[in-house]
Structures are given as C-alpha cells and as structure tokens.
Amino acid sequence: MTTENTKDLLEGIGCCLDELEQEYLKIGIDHCKGLEDHSQLSAFLMLGIRSICLLRGMIHLCDPQFLDSYDSVRRSFIESWQLQFEFKLRDSTAKAQKWLERQPEWQADRKKLETAIKKLHGEEAGFTREWAV
C-alpha cells in the first residue's frame, strides 16, 4: 500500500469515527440527560466515546517509530471495548453503576463475553491470547 493510499484510508477511518462519536453524543444528550443520568446506557456510550478517542490515537501511532506506544493504546482500546460490550448485556446494570461510581469494577467479565460471543457466532471469540498477559 502506498503512502497516499494509507493517508486516504486513515482519513476515511477518521470520518467514520467522527460520525460514530457524534451519534454516541447525540444519544447521550437525547436519552441520558447529557450522559449524566448514571444509566447503563450512559456507561455504554461513555466507553464507546473513550474507545473512539483511543482509536484516533492508534491511527497516529501506526508509524513504526511509535510501535511501543501503539501497543499500549491498543490494549487500552481492547479493555474499553470489552467492558463496553459487557455493558451492552442486559444483566450488567449493577456493574455499569459501580463503574460509573468509580468503584473497582472496571474490568470486563471475560467468561461472560466468551459465552455471549459463542452464543452469537457459534464459536470461541479467540481472546485468550489477549487475556494471557
């Protein structure tokens, strides 16, 4: 892939992230009192916005000179995405409340995620490599 193609791809990704972020914020304003209602949906949206911010950083860290930084941001993105996915599940209301109150319930229940993904797709998610560290 040429440098020009890479630049075009990254610009396209940026546009998609902008649109997704705007939708998360719009829903937060319209349905969650500006993300201040401490609901499960607010927690889900806030983690989505955090994930978008991390993805934006990852785009800029694709340069080989920054690969160590890229890996740290990538792991943060994965942790945010996993917790956001868990907050999407109906039985995660209490955990979302604890997270919003900054209680020590920030890490996703990985067994719950594996079960949900297997139920949806009929096979393991393949996250074991990420969780082994």
Question: pLDDT tens for residues 13-34?
Answer: 888 999 999 999 999 999 999 9
Neighbouring C-beta atoms of residue 122, cutoff 10 Å: 7
Q: How confident is the model at residue 5 (pLDDT cuts 50, 70, 90)?
A: low
- Identify whether the C-beta of residue 13 lies closer than 8 Å to the C-beta of residue 21: no
What does the pLDDT read at residue 82?
A: 93
From CA 125, how far away is CA 112, in angstroms rounded? 11
Give which of 20, 21, 42 is closest to 31, Cα–Cα.
42
The domain in which residue 115 lies consists of 3-131
Tens digit of each residue's pLDDT (9 = 90 or more) over 40-52: 999 999 999 999 9
Percent of the chain with pLDDT over 70: 89
Q: SS3 of 2, please? A: coil
Tally of domains in the chain? 1
From CA 70, how far away is CA 101, in angstroms rounded? 29
Tens digit of each residue's pLDDT (9 = 90 or more) over 68-104: 898 899 999 999 999 999 999 999 999 999 999 998 7
From CA 125, how far away is CA 106, in angstroms rounded? 21
> Which three-class secondary structure string do you get for 11-42?
HHHHHHHHHHHHHHHHHHHHHCCCCCCCCHHH
Residue 117: half-sphere exposure toward Cβ, Cα within 13 Å:
14
**What predicted TM-score, i.e. pTM, was given to this entire model?**
0.84
Q: How confident is the model at residue 7 (pLDDT cuts 50, 70, 90)?
A: low
